[in-house]
Structure 1
Amino acid sequence: MDKFRRSLLLAPLALTATAAAAQTAAPDTAKVVPGWPAPTATIDLWPKGVAGQVHPDMKEVVEETSTDPAIKFRRVQGISKPRMAVFPAANPTGGAMLIIPGGGFWWNYFDHEGYALADYLNQHGITCFVLFYRLANDGWDNKADVATIDAQRAMRLIRKHAAQYKLDPKRVGVIGFSAGGFITASLATRHAQALYTPVDDADALDARPSLAAPIYPVQSLDPAIAYDGTAPSLFGGPATAEQIARYAPDHNIDARTPPVFLTHAEDDTTVPVANTTVFRDALKAKGITVETHLFARGGHGFGMKHDLDQPYHIWPQLFVNFARSQGLMG
């Protein structure tokens, strides 16, 4: 039994509940496995709902992709009620992380790229919020922006709830995987862009993360190195020069881009490692603090799998060290 499995089987069960009667429950709450990380609450992003849904009858679909009964690798699509699953730290340091799972803009893999990381970071005093965001391929009028809009709103709502969860609103970071890494990098570089009409007082708060960690991220829109599903998912075809300039994170770095932590496997055949190295070089060119860890093996999507025979299993501790150095824990 590897370290990942042991930590999950021994972790205390947190009963899933909603933050208030009006909040939408996290997906698949009826199938919580004893010992598996589970949120204590949820926070809806948009209390009056969202516009622009192409398929009004869209339903959430949850699939289990693991064949091991002791391990869960669930994924969900059809998210029409974007929300955050809340994982409060038992001994909070005041730091918080917004966690954005990946899934190629088709799915949200919320276990090994969401709940398991939240459970791990909770042990370091970091309260976590796992984002169930709108997926470009579910069909939205503004599909290139909807996930970044949800991420902006999520950051503002975390800050609005800072007192409730014993958080310092100045110490809220973001971490995301693969396509979620694109959203993470987009939030880090486009946090100040007015992408939606404010709906309440939370939207007066800052969406800038205190640090960002795109993990094996979809990032570039350069056809030579881009994940081949990015442009079709976001734009319906090849990206134009104007779309690259507007949406590619490496084209939108400025002085307010926060410190960045990056990790990727050199043998990733789904999202080329150049997505990370190009972003790293662009950050360095703008004088932004960046820490980069590249592993020889690991492929794509290793998340919190923690295979002890693979060096990549140490990346969460490397991230915690970086987060501490950047003041996330106070």
Structure 2
Amino acid sequence: MKASFRFYILLCMTLLFPVLALPSTLTAEIKDAQNPVPKSLFLWDGAPPGFQKEAPPETINDRGAISNVSRPAISVFLPPQGTGTGMAIIVCAGGGYGSLDWKTHVIYAAEVFNPLGVAVIGLKYRTRPPFRGSNEQIQALTLLDAKRAVRLVRQHAKEWGLDSHQIGIAGYSAGGNLAMNLAASFDRGDPQATDPVERESSRPDFAIGLATWHWRQKTSPFTFRKDSPPVFLVHATNDGIKGGAPIEMPKEIEADLLKLGVPVKLALFDVGAHGVGNLIPQRVKRGFPPAKWPELFLSWYQSLN
């Protein structure tokens, strides 16, 4: 019995040691057994700025939605080797800043964009709870996460076979709120920073808003700039009827950007409601009109260059 017990302990240590030996930046975990994440990185080594101490544990439900995110991370989905275009899209899942609909918005986006040669970087930004501040405070906190994600991807671009000048951000609903917030509030990096990641620019090369939401408001809260990146918006005319995101806001975003001379495209659909941008496999397979937005976006973006 003692010999068997010693063998069991030795076996456990053999299996666990490679995991325990990994650097902390390589141990961010998205618990989706059916869709293993090829690479995961915490955005910061150690506690991030504004870290909530004694936060409840992160959870994921049977639909693949993540809650209680207190330590932000990215997960990297690269196209098959030799097929990449160099483009990467950092995807911000929706969920009202209270959860992240990871499977619907990140996993399915990777399944569509990877075959097109485009990398998808899932951004696991912070949610509430554990953060319990105001709407403005959660926007400010997640903006830190989005900025850091762009910087981190840009720093790893060569290693991952990406073009550092083709790194954009896309977001669904609350994630679209975050994407537009970054498009309006990026910075060019701090060349004097001791952390090399912070020297990188956080300006995305493009921004995509899908059913962009701002607590069901009709007016845009974003103050864009002349150097804001090109913006592609996907929205349904029947969104906002039962909550969701009223059509008036993306129209206002479009008008604001046109005044500034920033390239913008608003793709409108009469179907889809608040799930207009969801790339659910059945929708893609059946040719559901809004599910064609990836091709529409790529065609539009390439026409700008």
Q: How do residues 318-329 of structure 1 correspond to structure 2 at under 5 angstroms? A: 318-327=296-305
Taking the aligned partners of 1:322 and 1:25, their CA distance within structure 2 comes to 34
C-alpha deviation, 1:315, in angstroms: 1.6
For residue 260 of structure 1, what is the aligned residue in structure 2?
Answer: 231
CA gap of 1:198–1:115, structure 2 versus 1, over 3 A, is farther
Q: How do residues 246-285 of structure 1 correspond to structure 2 at under 5 angstroms? A: 248-249=221-222, 252-269=223-240, 270-285=244-259
Tell whether the 8 Å contact from 1:136 to 1:144 is kept in structure 2 after alignment.
no
C-alpha RMSD of the superposition: 2.6
Query: Between Structure 1 and Structure 2, whose CA radius of gyration is higher?
Result: 2
For residue 89 of structure 1, what is the aligned residue in structure 2?
Answer: 79
Q: Secondary structure at the match of 2:85?
A: coil
For residue 312 of structure 1, what is the aligned residue in structure 2?
Answer: 290
C-alpha deviation, 1:44, in angstroms: 0.8
Greater shift in the superposed pair: 269-278 or 200-209: 269-278
Taking the aligned partners of 1:224 and 1:273, their CA distance within structure 2 comes to 10
For residue 24 of structure 1, what is the aligned residue in structure 2?
Answer: 27
Q: Does 1:162 align with 2:163?
A: no
Q: Does 1:49 align with 2:23?
A: no
For residue 9 of structure 1, what is the aligned residue in structure 2?
Answer: none
C-alpha deviation, 1:128, in angstroms: 1.7
Taking the aligned partners of 2:250 and 2:176, their CA distance within structure 1 comes to 10
Q: Secondary structure at the match of 1:108?
A: strand
For residue 273 of structure 2, what is the aligned residue in structure 1?
Answer: 299
For residue 181 of structure 1, what is the aligned residue in structure 2?
Answer: 176
For residue 234 of structure 1, what is the aligned residue in structure 2?
Answer: none
Q: Secondary structure at the match of 2:208?
A: strand
TM-score for the superposition, normalised by structure 1: 0.75
Tell whether the 8 Å contact from 2:258 to 2:264 is kept in structure 1 after alignment.
yes
For residue 8 of structure 2, what is the aligned residue in structure 1?
Answer: none
Equivalent of 2:208 in 204, 213, 220? 213
Relative to its length, the structure with more helix (as a share) is 2
Segments of 5+ residues of structure 2 without an aligned counterpart are: 1-18
Equivalent of 2:146 in 136, 146, 151? 151
**Counterpart of 2:85 in structure 1: which amino acid?**
T
Greater shift in the superposed pair: 38-47 or 304-313: 304-313
Taking the aligned partners of 2:54 and 2:300, their CA distance within structure 1 comes to 43
CA gap of 1:313–1:95, structure 2 versus 1, over 3 A, is closer
Q: Does 1:286 align with 2:299?
A: no
Tell whether the 8 Å contact from 1:55 to 1:139 is kept in structure 2 after alignment.
no
For residue 70 of structure 2, what is the aligned residue in structure 1?
Answer: 80
**Counterpart of 1:285 in structure 2: which amino acid?**
K
TM-score for the superposition, normalised by structure 2: 0.81
Taking the aligned partners of 1:24 and 1:80, their CA distance within structure 2 comes to 15
CA gap of 1:151–1:53, structure 2 versus 1, over 3 A, is same
Segments of 5+ residues of structure 1 without an aligned counterpart are: 1-16, 66-73, 227-243
CA gap of 1:163–1:274, structure 2 versus 1, over 3 A, is same
Aligned length, in residue pairs = 272
Taking the aligned partners of 1:127 and 1:194, their CA distance within structure 2 comes to 23
What is the percentage of aligned positions where both structures have the same residue?
25
Taking the aligned partners of 1:38 and 1:322, their CA distance within structure 2 comes to 32
Taking the aligned partners of 1:150 and 1:216, their CA distance within structure 2 comes to 21
Taking the aligned partners of 1:27 and 1:283, their CA distance within structure 2 comes to 36
C-alpha deviation, 1:312, in angstroms: 1.6
Q: Deviations over 1:235-266 (max 9, x none)?
A: xxxxxxxxx8xxx22xx211110111111111
C-alpha deviation, 1:153, in angstroms: 0.2
C-alpha deviation, 1:224, in angstroms: 5.5
Tell whether the 8 Å contact from 1:192 to 1:207 is kept in structure 2 after alignment.
yes
**Counterpart of 2:279 in structure 1: which amino acid?**
M
Q: Deviations over 1:204-237 (max 9, x none)?
A: 1100011111111015x7x8526xxxxxxxxxxx
Taking the aligned partners of 1:263 and 1:309, their CA distance within structure 2 comes to 16
**Counterpart of 1:261 in structure 2: which amino acid?**
F
For residue 109 of structure 1, what is the aligned residue in structure 2?
Answer: 101
CA gap of 1:39–1:214, structure 2 versus 1, over 3 A, is same
Q: Secondary structure at the match of 1:149?
A: helix
Q: Secondary structure at the match of 1:280?
A: helix
CA gap of 1:105–1:199, structure 2 versus 1, over 3 A, is farther
